[in-house]
Chain A
Amino acid sequence: QKEVEQNSGPLSVPEGAIASLNCTYSDRGSQSFFWYRQYSGKSPELIMFIYSNGDKEDGRFTAQLNKASQYVSLLIRDSQPSDSATYLCAVTRAAGNKLTFGGGTRVLVKP
């Protein structure tokens, strides 16, 4: 079992729709959770972090965390073609500091 699992996609969504990305993790000691966006050939950029159960909203992005189910998700509302990228889920233990990444979900937003 991988430590952090994501569906590799591609997840194809029409412009203006909601893209829903899922991530599960195996380490129950994980404390902080991050979503990164990575365009092809570029470095990852942080778009959201969450460490409390529930929802966290930032603009068109909403992160959802359920520690009991070891599940974190990312919703992208009003998807735009510029949102087409690979989205990486990452988790960390508070004391360890290293991030463990999932394999990423490729999102394609079609005009």
Chain B
Amino acid sequence: NAGVMQNPRHLVRRRGQEARLRCSPMKGHSHVYWYRQLPEEGLKFMVYLQKENIIDESGMPKERFSAEFPKEGPSILRIQQVVRGDSAAYFCASSPSRGGRHLSNYGYTFGSGTRLTVV
């Protein structure tokens, strides 16, 4: 049973380019969460998605960032026109369902992350 798969592990982009980060949740998990971790900081929530739906995007920057989780395929976090401040580790997590004791029992399973470097 593969865990949460993220790719690429490392991504280097020049300022102004686009970055696409992919996340495949654990088998049987239908909820995906994206978090960003700046150097020496904790994880900051970005967006929570179910298949074909954005449930909570309260942590997403207003511009340049978008996320999707299509019916088929992985979830994609897209950053347009990257800037140096976007350099961070981006983690994806998945869970089987929403709310209450289910979340308490499973917590989140995180992927290995994508380390984005903008040069």
Contacts and interface: CB of A to CB of B under 8 A. Distances in A.
Interface of A: 4, 6, 31-32, 34, 42-46, 49, 51, 88, 90, 92, 94-104
Contacts of A95: 98-100
22 contacts: A4-B42, A32-B103, A42-B112, A44-B91, A44-B110, A45-B110, A46-B107, A46-B109, A49-B105, A49-B107, A51-B104, A94-B100, A97-B55, A97-B56, A98-B48, A98-B59, A101-B43, A101-B45, A102-B42, A103-B41, A103-B42, A104-B41
Contacts of A100: 45
A43 B103 contact: no
Contact of B44 (A32, A101, A104): A101
A47 B47 CA distance: 23
Contacts of A43: 91, 110-113
Contacts, number: 67
A51 B105 CA distance: 10
B69 interface: no
B22 interface: no
Interface residues of B, number: 29
Nearest to B92: A43
A1 to B, nearest CB: 15
A100 B58 CA distance: 12
A96 to B, nearest CB: 7
B75 interface: no
A52 B105 CA distance: 13
A99 B95 CA distance: 12
Given A102-B42, A103-B41, A104-B42, A97 B48 contact: yes
Given A43-B91, A94-B100, A103-B41, 13 more contacts: A32-B103, A43-B113, A49-B107, A51-B101, A90-B43, A94-B103, A95-B100, A97-B56, A97-B99, A99-B45, A101-B42, A101-B44, A104-B42
